[in-house]
Amino acid sequence: MAPSHQPTLRVRQLFDNESFTYTYLLIDAESCAAAIIDPVVEKYERDRRCIEELNIQLHYIMETHIHADHITGAAKLKEHFAAKIVAGKATEVDCADLLLNDGDTIELGSYKIKALATPGHTNGCMSYYVDGMAFTGDALFIRGTGRTDFQEGDAATLYESVTQKLFTLPDATLVYPAHDYNGYTISTIGEEKRYNPRLGKGKSKQEFITIMDQLNLEEPLKIDVAVPANMCCGYMRDRI
Amino acid sequence: MAPSHQPTLRVRQLFDNESFTYTYLLIDAESCAAAIIDPVVEKYERDRRCIEELNIQLHYIMETHIHADHITGAAKLKEHFAAKIVAGKATEVDCADLLLNDGDTIELGSYKIKALATPGHTNGCMSYYVDGMAFTGDALFIRGTGRTDFQEGDAATLYESVTQKLFTLPDATLVYPAHDYNGYTISTIGEEKRYNPRLGKGKSKQEFITIMDQLNLEEPLKIDVAVPANMCCGYMRDRI
């Protein structure tokens, strides 16, 4: 996915302290083409200013999935920057400009971002891979995983996505998750294979399913407003 | 400060969501020598595990200053890893193993970390520079600065430290602050010179002093326990 010349892809990681969401700006420093992954609507002003101050051209607004814990900033960013909204085809969101299948790529400057279908947290979960970096959404967290107890969550499916798809990337691949609750910002595939307590260390699918079954997590506070709003790329948020 | 061969210095950024503190692991991937900057005592277990899982050798525990908002994890990390505690000489902390003056360097593998005295938030504030990265403590934040209204805070001094020392580093220098309250993780010197609303954009010293005088911030919650504990590198914390 990387060009043969000196790498020019830059990442700017941004955090929403309320929902513990990481938003990413991906920037090809050569062409100034940029994509944003998983923006949060309450952080729209910060993200807009950041894009303008960095003097980059926002081409894509990419969602890893239909979030249940926050409303996306996609609609507001699209209105301002005229960028394309990108999501996995299995999300079935009508408002996206591009719906990707597993293995599809989109171009960002001289880079190709590859969509990797990683269902399990939801059916439409996509990870995005480019230049040695995997943006793993709610499939793989640092020393954890997304939950599988609501929406279309399915632990067996998530186990397959992580162990058969993400864990087949090179060990040095950087892992950038959609959330972190412990103050980690980055990991690698190699680290997660060795140390992830839920499905690393050679844990079996049945062990993973048992762990996920016993989590007993509370329902996300915003699920009732976030999911319908995100099915509309955040356009409906003022009416909710 | 960088060796002539392929760069091998890695940064692992860690966040404390209670005090909004960034802790950094600096790792020379070739020798596995590592330093930690501004650890937080409540995050000791996370930091210890991270160091052990990354299979690195902790040589230094570096403080940018005497913190007022959290207690350092230095003492506990030193007890476990037998690393040296490093601080600025003007902190006057007896418990440190190395007290650095402006311009002093310490070696981390084939790298040299250079201490840059950047007083103003406190008298003993040090920034640390290595391989195109500046760890700016509470001197320079992303689109902000440390406060100057308690301990030995002095806005005029901080203005000199940032504009005459940090802003003379190359524009591409990465800025890694000790705190962020807005979800930013990284900036550059060039960005801060252009966009920092307090002392970028050519703001005068008097303008900066006026801005700082009008902040009217609340006193840090932990100042009465954190400062005396940090004067002892965190050793006293169980007795407070």
Chain A residues whose CB is inside 8 A of the B178 CB are none
Q: Establish if B4 belongs to a structural domain.
A: no
- Give pLDDT tens digits for B105-139: 999 999 999 999 999 999 999 999 999 999 999 99
Which candidate from B46, B182, B183 shows the least CB-CB separation from A183? B46
Which of 76-135 (A) contact B at CB < 8 A?
A: none
Residue with tokens 């909004």: B20
Structure tokens at A35: 């994509």
Q: Establish if A120 belongs to a structural domain.
A: yes
Q: Establish if B1 belongs to a structural domain.
A: no
Chain A residues whose CB is inside 8 A of the B20 CB are 17
Q: How far is B64 from A35, CA to CA, in rounded Å?
A: 34
- Give pLDDT tens digits for B174-188: 999 999 999 999 999
Which candidate from A15, A183, A195 shows the least CB-CB separation from B183? A15
Torsion angle (degrees, nearest 10) of CA A212, A215, A220, A221: 180
Q: Establish if B2 belongs to a structural domain.
A: no
Q: Do A53 and B184 touch (CB under 8 A)?
A: no
Of B143, B96, B94, B90, give the one whose Cα is nearest residue B121: B90
Q: Establish if B3 belongs to a structural domain.
A: no
Which chain B residue is nearest to residue A190, measuring alpha carbons? B54
Please answer whether residues B167 and B129 qualify as being in contact, where contact means their C-beta atoms are separated by less than 8 angstroms.
no
* CATH code for position B13: 3.60.15.10
pLDDT confidence tier of residue B240, bands split at 50, 70 and 90: very low
Q: Establish if A4 belongs to a structural domain.
A: no
What pLDDT is attached to residue B19? Answer: 95
- Give pLDDT tens digits for A15-66: 999 999 999 999 999 999 999 999 999 999 999 999 999 999 999 999 999 9
What pLDDT is attached to residue B4? Answer: 58
Number of domains in chain A: 1
Which candidate from A13, A20, A182 shows the least CB-CB separation from B185? A13
DSSP 8-state assignment for residue A179: B
Chain A residues whose CB is inside 8 A of the B15 CB are 15, 183-185
Instruction: Tell me: pLDDT of A91 over 70.
Output: yes
- Give pLDDT tens digits for B90-100: 999 999 999 99
Torsion angle (degrees, nearest 10) of CA B19, B22, B23, B27: 170
Domain of residue B178 covers: 9-239
pLDDT confidence tier of residue A237, bands split at 50, 70 and 90: very low
- Give pLDDT tens digits for A121-170: 999 999 999 999 999 999 999 999 999 998 889 999 999 999 999 999 99
Q: Establish if A199 belongs to a structural domain.
A: yes
Instruction: Tell me: pLDDT of B2 over 90.
Output: no
Q: Is A17 on the interface with B (CB under 8 A)?
A: yes
Please answer whether residues A64 and A135 qualify as being in contact, where contact means their C-beta atoms are separated by less than 8 angstroms.
yes
pLDDT confidence tier of residue B68, bands split at 50, 70 and 90: very high
Q: How far is B148 from B155, CA to CA, in rounded Å?
A: 6
Q: Are strands A21-28 and A111-117 parallel, antiparallel or unpaired?
A: unpaired
pLDDT confidence tier of residue A239, bands split at 50, 70 and 90: very low
What pLDDT is attached to residue B5? Answer: 64
Strand partners, B86: B62, B98
Q: Establish if B59 belongs to a structural domain.
A: yes
- Give pLDDT tens digits for B4-63: 567 899 999 999 999 999 999 999 999 999 999 999 999 999 999 999 999 999 999 999
Chain B residues whose CB is inside 8 A of the A46 CB are 182-184
Which candidate from B17, B20, B185 shows the least CB-CB separation from A185? B185
What pLDDT is attached to residue A2? Answer: 57
Q: Is B55 on the interface with A (CB under 8 A)?
A: no
Please answer whether residues B140 and B178 qualify as being in contact, where contact means their C-beta atoms are separated by less than 8 angstroms.
no
Residue with tokens 């999935």: A65
